[in-house]
Amino acid sequence: MSEPSWQKPSFSGGGDNCVEVAAADGDGTAVRESTDPGRVLTTDRAAFRALLRGAGAGAFDRLAR
């Protein structure tokens, strides 16, 4: 896998405690925690889009309580 170009959300304000995403080889999306960059989760883009839609719709809110 080539070195991904990691992106932080604009609302992080340049801080070092956020989730970063990058395009992975093929049809993948790579996700990592900026404070632990050695651990990378890779999934396909369709699954990542479904995760984002679910989070935006509040599907995981009960897990944060």
User: Both tokens of residue 13?
Assistant: 């304000």
Q: Which helix (H) or strand (E) holds 56?
A: helix 45-56
- By percentage, how much of the chain surpasses pLDDT 90? 65
pLDDT at 21 over 80: yes
Going from the C-alpha of 61 to that of each of 36, 48, 55, the distances in angstroms are 24, 17, 8
pLDDT at 1 over 60: no
Please give the model's pTM, rounded to 2 decimal places. 0.77
Residue 39, SS3 per DSSP: coil
DSSP bridge pairs for 44: 28
